[in-house]
Structure 1
């Protein structure tokens, strides 16, 4: 259980997240994920990173139960800072990051894939931000990188999800494959990227980030200010308290 890194192919590092039962990450998990991605990208032998997960879904966001157990602000502060670090680690990784997504990709999962360079998804993958149902705000910055503006707003306000095939039609998902073939498809793309000159790949990543019209770190931190406001006002706790213990997906 936790975050692990492997190197199945020359130039390719695979960072795998495994927090049963639904990959809802505790505070420490977000920091561990950030460290693993940054370490993999900093290795001069690495030319592409694949971000994947074990279990029933790619990512269910923040561990809501950890927040509910907290008696002070430390947990929400830790979750917000941890998410910001993990999202930034993916975006700022020195080499391209391919996200391999299966099952549900919710809340913080959107922050991860929205900052990735490419997404390969299984045909059972769904994507969404149930933040308003969980007493939280944030990651609209990253959802806006996956779908057009008005669809992003509709999805955000309703907490609805979209399928991998729908995102493929919008151009944000590179390939949709059967779940059994997800790892192979992600590694195929990663190997194609890793076949390039590593020095040029790193320059290309820096150049593309440099022309991005949105400063994603600053944009997400702006959103988080409203998350803090919701917590200080007590609204977030009221909504989180309605989170059922029998719900399988957390955000």
Structure 2
């Protein structure tokens, strides 16, 4: 697994996740991503961060195998804390974060994208929160930033996905492009932001977070509490194992 930073323009930092086969991150991976995004935003020469991924899709959430392979709740607690840190790093990043999404964007992926400032997606991108089928809860906070309330509930209860084109209709995805054009589209948008006075843009980012109608940190942490309850009840372990058995893992 690799999470890298690369300066592609004078003031644009690209953070890339590459964790084959589906970019489902381990506990360490979530914390590494959080540290990388936070460090990029803290660099005064960085005006915009682009968050992207290699491989088959943008992000498939947590590494369920790691949780199932561990005894006790250490890995579960680590995954929850790691996701909380990574989502928070994107939201609190001192500069705007442009998410470039392709393929699947599930669970933790929605947490990242829902906290990003701008979303550009390929025409094959799909978004969803399959947590109820994995015996967990979470990322409804972030899904609610992408779709209207009743659709969010429907998607959450059914674990269904929506397309990038549908999200563009709601205004939560800025642009939908062919996969081959995704990186260029994200960079073009990033350049238009990076060209502005970074002092103003950084102040604008802080101001926009300050007037948000929902405290995303507290809201997501509240959701996570129910995941712990479900694990204590045994529902989560059964659901995760059923998923792994179905996948032949």
Q: How many Å apart are 1:244 and its aligned residue?
A: 3.0
Match of 2:31 in 1: 31
Q: 1:245 to 1:9 in 2, by over 3 A?
A: farther
SS at match of 1:239: helix
In 2, distance between residues paired with 1:10 and 1:174?
Answer: 24
Report the alpha carbon displacement of residue 2 of structure 1 after superposing the two structures with TM: 1.4
Q: 1:77-156 residue pairs with structure 2 within 5 A?
A: 77-156=77-156
Distance of 2:199 and 2:189 partners within structure 1:
18
CA offsets 1:23-61 (integer angstroms, 9 cap, x no match) = 000000000000000000000000100000000000000
Structure 1 segment 1-251 matched on structure 2, within 5 A: 1-245=1-245, 247=247
- Per-residue deviation, 1:245: 4.8
Secondary structure at the counterpart of residue 4 of structure 1: strand
Distance 1:181 1:162 in 2: 21
SS in 1 for 2:203: helix
Displacement, 1:10? 1.5
Displacement of 1:246: 5.9
Structure 2 residue matching 1:242: 3-state secondary structure:
helix
Q: CA deviation at 1:184?
A: 0.2
Summarize deviations over 1:109-143 as a string: whole Å, max 9, x none: 00000000000000000000000111110100000
Gaps (5+ residues) in structure 2? none
1:232 Cα shift?
1.1
- d(CA) in 1 for partners of 2:247 and 2:84? 25
1:140-184 Cα deviation digits (max 9, x unpaired): 000000000000000000000000000000100000000000000
Taking the aligned partners of 2:15 and 2:138, their CA distance within structure 1 comes to 24
**Displacement of 1:193:** 0.3
TM-score scaled by length of structure 2: 0.98
> Of the two structures, which has the highest relative contact order with CA contacts closer than 8 Å and spacing of 6 or more?
1
Match of 2:185, SS state, is helix
Q: What is the CA deviation profile of residues 186-241 of structure 1, one whole-angstrom value per residue up to 9, with x for unaligned ones?
A: 00000100000011110000000000000000000000000111111111111111
Q: Distance in 2 between matches of 1:41 and 1:149?
A: 31
Q: Secondary structure in 2 aligned to 1:146? A: coil
- 1:197 & 1:232 partners in 2: Cα distance? 50
The gaps in structure 1 that reach 5 residues or longer are none
1:243 match: secondary structure: helix
**What SS does structure 2 have at the residue aligned with 1:120?**
strand
Aligned counterparts of 2:178 and 2:192: Cα–Cα separation in 1? 20
Give the match's secondary structure for 1:86. helix
Matches of 1:246 and 1:55 in 2, distance apart?
Answer: 22
Q: Secondary structure at the match of 2:244?
A: coil
